[in-house]
Structure 1
Amino acid sequence: MAAVIALAVAGLLVLAMSGMFMGMAKSFTATVDKSPAHVMILPPQAEGLFGNNSGQPRRLIPTIYQHPDVLEVQPLNGSWAFWSNFPKDGQPAKGDGVQVVVVDPVKGAVTLPTDFSDEVIAALQQPFTVVVDRSSLNKLGVKVGDKAKMNGRTVTVGAVVDGYPSMFNSQVFVSYQTGKLIYVVDEGQRVGPLVVKIKDPSKAKQVADELNAMSHGQYKAWTRDQLSKSSQKSMLKEGGISMMIGFAVLVGIFIGIVITWQTLQGAIMANIKEFASLRALGVSMGALRLIIMELSFWVGVAGLTMTVFLTSLVAFAAHSAAVPMDFPLFIVIPVTIGLMLIAILSGLFSLGVLKKSQPADLLR
């Protein structure tokens, strides 16, 4: 049990750290993941949504319409604004920078997330009305119906949405018209990511490939899923995040191997007379080694099972606290293989103890 717990803690450490950072990336890409658009257009050197602050020329929009399957192309407008609340009696004043997402509040619009209800859409259609994620209400010091200031203009919190938490700057949704009134809409010659709606969503991969062939190196087209996964992977390349996850992996490996190895050795030593009896009955050393390796394998299986259970508890607690977590397969599969390797290596390191199982010791 001690070996199983050691493996489970090692797996939980790595998965919890990775899941938290992947959840952060997932929260940043939520507006893309829940977009009705099927294809996204980014600069040609882009590896994801992050780190593309220079934007791309607005003149690209007409060229995207040249593809016969394209129905609508719009820039995904986003900007930053300074937020401050109007504190009531006993309420602290709160000021913070917020990330503003500009949407077109019309059902089916390519910039409008698919999970926005009719109530939210109706709220966005009102001038100087904004929508925030439920988890950001306390951070921003407001509730539905309250007024606040954005870039010095008074706005009203008309509704809340779920599924757009942010561990850093809160996301605030506004309509295009309200965005112009509070100075967050840039109508210059450069735009951010372009979202593209096509006639047949099942042909998204084909259309993206054809748009790339038409681009002449001016842009890069992605399907929605491709962009989401690539954005998560590009986040892992950030120096600080890579170092923290790498540290968690090293600590997890150390905990897993050392504690599991020592625990298995202790279990073997506690039963050394039984192993000696088996040798006296003619059981070969190779068969005894196989028993230890089989024991290590089942320790690995039990450790993985407990890892799943503990990670599920942590993910549930995080969800209850509106902390985003995500566990993509390119993280889960290596961790699973790594835990099994740790269990097997621990068994290999413990084989030397079998040399102490001498049949002659039974006569003492």
Structure 2
Amino acid sequence: MSLALSTLIYEWRRYMAAVIALAVAGLLVLALVGMFMGIGKNFSATIDRSPAHIMILPPDSEGLGTSQPRRNIPLLFQHSEVVEATPFNVTWGQFTNFPEGEQKAVREGVQIYVVDPIPGAVTLPTDFPEDVILALQEPYSVILDVTSLNKLGVKVGDKAKINGRTVTVRATISGYPSLFNSMIFTSRQSAKLLGLVREGPRVGAILVKVSDPARTDTVAAELNVIGKGQFKAWTKPELSKRNQESMFKNSFISILLGFMLVVGVFIGVVITWQTLQGAILANIKEFASLRALGVSIGSLNLIIMELSFWVGVAGLGMTAILLVGVTALAGAMGLTMFYPLWSVITIAIMLLIISVLSGLLSLGVLKKSQPADLLR
């Protein structure tokens, strides 16, 4: 075991403030990234959990809530590997509850997803349990995420109105929260009764199943050739990734994350630097003893740099522990957290750079480690 690592282990109390500062700096940035990316995952939940292999959208669109000509459906079957192509309707509606007792009256805009409540249907999310599928088969029934109950002022079994027509909240699901407009799911038959779906010349996104899922990428590319620019075929991973990336095109989110990154770096550098300086000064006689034994100042500098590196590693470990706690807390509150690999790697490198930079700033303290001080 190296001298730097043993020093950190046996005198960990001296360096705990630096470790905590690094952990807080990393947690600050990662928690924000996780929250915003989690919101993005919520927006793309219907994409990620769809049984479709390919999604057909207008050439200039990247979202499911768009429309395109119905004539695109026959074009898709020109490809021999397309086995199913069904429109996926997404529409907007005005949700109004019937308040009871102390319930407040709610009038909210909601996003309505039309599904076919048949096991294996291309429009039915793969995580819908059997009881939810059965509930959707009842006329005028709707289901919503459990986190939207309070927001919409209803509970399971309550009646409400969508665009002035009465519906019944038959069941709830989880994993589809929304910080903005709540997601509501209903069957295609109920949507027709409610006037939400009409058989016209335009349809929503087209969900496609192929005979061999392993050839999804190839089939999508060949469908784009068949379409000749009339539509764009997306694989699920491509469309989900593009939806998440589009969030960071929002200038507000980019500015906020950039600001938090600067604040995190500043906090980490200043506190880590001052803590390392204080710890080195507390051990200045030990460093002076090493110089008296013939250890060069260059070797002592290397010890300090290695020590700062291990402080950074300890900070990474504490960041991971705190992040697990924050993620669990967010999950208990119905908030999805998602951490892309690039964000984890970037923050890990940032914390190590902060710790090493703090070590560089602390090297000047070693000038006070004069062997003559041992005689005082």
TM-score, with structure 2 as normaliser: 0.92
Matched, 1:337 2:352: no
Residue matched to 1:252: 264
Q: Deviations over 1:30-72 (max 9, x none)?
A: 11111000112233344x43xx866433322221221111111
Corresponding residue of 1:89: 101
Q: 1:229: which partner in 2?
A: 241
Structure 1: which 5+ residue stretches go unaligned?
A: none
Residue 188 of structure 1: CA displacement?
A: 4.3
* Number of residue pairs aligned between Structure 1 and Structure 2: 361
1:144, distance to aligned residue in structure 2 (A): 1.1
Aligned to 2:336: 324
The yes-or-no answer on 1:350 pairing with 2:365 is: no
Which of 118, 124, 135 lines up with 1:123 in the alignment? 135
Secondary structure in structure 2 of the residue aligned to 1:252? helix
Q: State how 1:64-213 maps to structure 2 within 5 Å.
A: 64-185=76-197, 187-213=199-225
**How far 1:212 moved relative to its partner?**
2.7
Alpha-carbon deviation of 1:126? 1.3
Q: Which residue of 2 aligns with 1:9?
A: 24
The answer (yes or no) to whether the contact 1:6–1:255 under 8 Å persists in 2 is: yes
Secondary structure of residue in 1 paired with 2:276: helix
CA contact 1:167–1:323 (8 Å) conserved in 2? no
Looking at structure 2, the residues matched to 336 and 229 of structure 1 have their Cα atoms a distance apart, in angstroms, of: 23
* 2:136/2:142 contact within 8 Å kept: yes
Give the whole-Å Cα distance in 1 for the aligned partners of 2:66 and 2:128: 29
Question: For residue 56 of structure 1, what is the amino acid of its counterpart?
Answer: Q
Contact 1:70 1:199 in 2 (8 A): yes
Helix, strand or coil: the match of 2:120? coil
> How far is 1:213 from its partner?
3.2
After the TM superposition, which of the residue ranges 183-192 and 4-13 deviates more from structure 2?
Answer: 183-192
**How far did 1:363 drift?**
2.5
- Mapped contact 1:86–1:93 kept (Cα < 8 A): yes
Name the CA distance, whole Å, in 2 between partners of 1:97 and 1:292.
59
* Unaligned stretches of 5+ residues in structure 2: 1-15
> Please, which of 284, 308, 315 is the counterpart of residue 272 of structure 1?
284
Letter in 2 for 1:269: L
Q: CA deviation at 1:186?
A: 5.2
Q: Distance in 2 between matches of 1:170 and 1:53?
A: 14
Indicate if the aligned counterparts of 2:41 and 2:338 stay in contact, CA closer than 8 A: yes
Tell me, yes or no, if structure 1 residue 29 matches structure 2 residue 44.
yes
Matching residue of 2:325:
313
Distance 1:215 1:360, change over 3 A: farther
Which residue pairs with 1:292 in the alignment? Answer: 304
- Aligned residue in 2 for 1:303: 315
Stretches (4+) displaced over 4 A: none
SS of the equivalent of 1:194 reads strand
Amino acid across the alignment from 1:328:
P
Alpha-carbon distance between aligned partners in 2 of 1:328 and 1:200, rounded to the nearest angstrom = 29
Give 3-state SS (helix, strand or coil) of 1:324's partner: coil
DSSP-derived class of the 1:96 partner: strand
Is contact 1:148-1:154 (8 Å) kept? Answer: yes
1:132-166 deviation digits (Å, cap 9, x = unpaired) = 11111111111111100111000001111111111
Question: Are the equivalent residues in 2 in contact too, given 1:147–1:154 (CA < 8 A)?
Answer: yes
Q: 1:188 to 1:11 in 2, by over 3 A?
A: farther
Q: Secondary structure at the match of 1:35?
A: coil
**1:65–1:313 Cα change, 3 Å:** same
| Residue deviations 1:188-235 (CA, integer Å, cap 9, x gap) | 444433221111112212222222333323332222122212211111
Identity %: 62
TM-score with structure 1 length normalisation?
0.95
The residue matched to 1:184 in structure 2 has which SS? Answer: coil
